[in-house]
């Protein structure tokens, strides 16, 4: 009996299959793609990936393919495709500028899921790292959840057992960029009671597995656990510091939960801007400083709902004396930091080079500080202060004092 060929269409939506045929190779996305900016290699660009994947489908599903091609896509070909696919940081800029409206961010997620399920799997570094850790610990990091709040939760902040306002820090904030989580809880605390999950119940949101590793099979269990845990705390509005956690909560959680979420998930900055408007939060310390704000990809180009562009700016404008200037590329077309969706782990060089481009653009504004609101952007921008020897990082050292890097909530918490 012959082996059934891998079905490249199975599990893809009608929309995604149509999108594969919609690409006109107009090359617009190549001018905006952060990976193209640092590799200059059109063979790993969005149109090239679409063309390749479409070819696999045609090879196995059309009369032309059956007559003129081999029935099976070769392993070498699939490996090349996998390399290209995981060189993308899933920032979604290609979709934003696409002249035929291909929602590439969702498309790449689905295609990653397919390739991860094929004979070539996902990159080993993700398989053996975040994915294995998740199966053991329900976290992409190799640390016990019980210690998740220990290094950053301030002693002088009180967390309620139950409250209408909830806070989810996300693994990236808790372990990689704890200053973000600390800043967020200080601001929430100043505005009123808030609650959080018990640390051992605060599982990963699923982003590193679903987006990074292409592993979606964990999502139903995860979404059910997390939604129940938040509901048990009586939460009505959930502030989420990590925009990627928020993105997956809005996009995949309701689907895998099988219903609308019983609470409103929103970015921490959105909730804080509401609290400022409601008069529950104010910044009393004036600041004589010029700042620029980097819109993280997941907030500028989210899967579902509107981009979150105004709330962080509203918050910054509420600080007396502060001057906010935008980078050349901001809002929906903001630059990628190069750190998301496994890019940092799988392609550290590409990731560092992309971050350098963002850093340089921020520096060009002449601002004293660049603020962001994503643990990965924060970490990837701050890489220049890391000790790992890296040619790009070494080059950055020259600018160490030229531009400070901070998270918006950490920054604002110091102004209470």
Phi, psi torsion values for 324, nearest 5 degrees: -110, 125
**In this chain, which of 1, 3, 4, 40 binds another protein, going by CB under 8 A?**
40
Q: Does 11 bind another protein (CB under 8 A)?
A: yes
Which structure tokens are listed for 42?
């059109």
235 or 376: CB nearest another protein:
235
**In this chain, which of 4, 155, 279, 306 binds another protein, going by CB under 8 A?**
306
Q: Which stretch binds another protein (CB under 8 A): 126-134, 249-257, 281-289, 392-400?
A: 249-257
Q: Does 12 bind another protein (CB under 8 A)?
A: yes
The nearest distance, CB 251 to another protein, in angstroms, is: 8
The nearest distance, CB 235 to another protein, in angstroms, is: 17
CA 84 to chain centre: 19
**In this chain, which of 14, 161, 388, 389 binds another protein, going by CB under 8 A?**
14
The nearest distance, CB 67 to another protein, in angstroms, is: 12
Helix (H) / strand (E) containing 180: helix 178-191
**Burial annotation 368-399 (CB, 10 A radius, 16+ → b, else e):** ebbbbbbbbbbbbbbbbeeeeebebbeebeee
21 or 400: CB nearest another protein:
21
The nearest distance, CB 20 to another protein, in angstroms, is: 8
Q: Does 4 bind another protein (CB under 8 A)?
A: no
The nearest distance, CB 379 to another protein, in angstroms, is: 29
Residues 6+ apart with CB under 8 A from 165: 188, 191, 192, 193, 194, 195, 235, 236, 237, 238, 239, 271
Cα–Cα dist 382/365, whole Å:
18
Q: How many residues bind another protein (CB under 8 A)?
A: 60
Q: Does 207 bind another protein (CB under 8 A)?
A: no
60 or 409: CB nearest another protein:
60
The nearest distance, CB 226 to another protein, in angstroms, is: 13
Give the 3-state secondary structure of residue 58: helix
What 33-42 contacts at long range (C-beta under 8 Å, 24+ apart), as own/partner pairs, is 33/93, 33/94, 34/89, 34/91, 34/93, 34/335, 34/336, 34/338, 34/354, 34/357, 35/87, 35/88, 35/89, 35/350, 35/354, 37/354, 37/357, 38/338, 38/350, 38/353, 38/354, 38/357, 39/87, 39/350
Q: Does 217 bind another protein (CB under 8 A)?
A: yes
Q: Does 285 bind another protein (CB under 8 A)?
A: no
Beta bridge partner(s), residue 122: none
Q: Does 51 bind another protein (CB under 8 A)?
A: yes
| Strand arrangement, sheet containing 264-267 | 165-168, 237-240, 264-267
Q: Does 23 bind another protein (CB under 8 A)?
A: yes
Angle at 247 (CA atoms; ends 412, 118), nearest 5 degrees: 140
Q: What is the DSSP letter of 160?
A: B
Contact letters for another protein, residues 62-91 (x by CB under 8 A):
xxx---------------------------
**In this chain, which of 119, 200, 232, 259 binds another protein, going by CB under 8 A?**
259
The nearest distance, CB 62 to another protein, in angstroms, is: 4
Phi, psi torsion values for 346, nearest 5 degrees: -85, -40
Q: Which stretch binds another protein (CB under 8 A): 121-129, 256-264, 395-403, 406-414?
A: 256-264
Cα–Cα dist 182/413, whole Å:
9
**In this chain, which of 122, 180, 219, 265 binds another protein, going by CB under 8 A?**
219
The residues binding another protein (CB under 8 A) are: 9, 11-28, 30-31, 36, 40, 42-43, 45, 47-48, 51, 57, 61-64, 95, 97-103, 113, 216-217, 219-221, 224, 228, 254-260, 304-306
């Amino acid at each position: 009996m012959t082996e059934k060929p891998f079905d490249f269409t199975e599990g893809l939506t009608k929309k995604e299959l149509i999108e594969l045929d919609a690409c006109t190779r107009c090359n617009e996305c190549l001018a905006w793609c952060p990976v193209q900016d640092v590799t200059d290699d059109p063979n790993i660009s969005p149109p090239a990936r679409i063309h390749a994947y479409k070819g696999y489908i045609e090879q196995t599903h059309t009369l032309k393919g059956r007559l003129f091609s081999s029935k099976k896509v070769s392993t070498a070909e699939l490996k090349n495709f996998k390399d290209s696919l995981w060189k993308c940081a899933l920032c979604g800029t290609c979709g934003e500028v696409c002249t035929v409206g291909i929602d590439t961010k969702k498309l790449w997620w689905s295609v990653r899921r397919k390739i991860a399920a094929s004979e070539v799997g996902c990159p080993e570094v993700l398989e053996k790292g975040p994915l294995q850790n998740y199966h053991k610990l329900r976290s992409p990091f190799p640390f016990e959840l019980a210690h998740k709040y220990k290094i950053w939760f301030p002693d002088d902040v009180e967390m309620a057992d139950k409250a209408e306002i909830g806070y989810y820090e996300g693994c990236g904030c808790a372990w990689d960029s704890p200053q973000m989580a600390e800043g967020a809880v200080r601001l929430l605390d100043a505005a009123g009671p808030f609650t959080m999950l018990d640390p051992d119940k605060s599982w990963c949101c699923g982003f590193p597995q679903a987006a990074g590793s292409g592993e979606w099979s964990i999502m139903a269990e995860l979404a059910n656990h997390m939604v129940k845990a938040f509901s048990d705390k009586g939460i009505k509005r959930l502030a989420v510091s990590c925009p990627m956690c928020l993105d997956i909560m809005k996009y995949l959680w309701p689907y895998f939960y099988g219903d609308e979420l019983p609470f409103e998930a929103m970015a921490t900055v959105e909730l804080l801007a509401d609290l400022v408007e409601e008069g529950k939060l104010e910044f009393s310390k004036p600041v004589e400083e010029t700042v620029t704000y980097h819109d993280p990809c997941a907030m500028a180009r989210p899967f579902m709902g509107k981009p979150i562009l105004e709330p962080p700016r509203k918050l910054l404008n509420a600080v007396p004396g502060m001057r906010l200037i935008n980078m050349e590329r901001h809002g929906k077309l903001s630059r990628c930091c190069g750190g998301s969706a496994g890019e940092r782990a799988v392609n550290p060089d590409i990731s560092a080079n992309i971050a350098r481009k963002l850093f340089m653009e921020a520096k060009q504004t002449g601002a004293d500080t660049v603020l962001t609101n994503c643990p990965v952007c924060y970490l990837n921008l701050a890489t220049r202060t890391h000790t790992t020897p890296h040619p790009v990082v070494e080059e950055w050292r020259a600018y160490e004092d030229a531009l400070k890097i901070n998270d918006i909530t950490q920054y604002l918490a110091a102004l209470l």
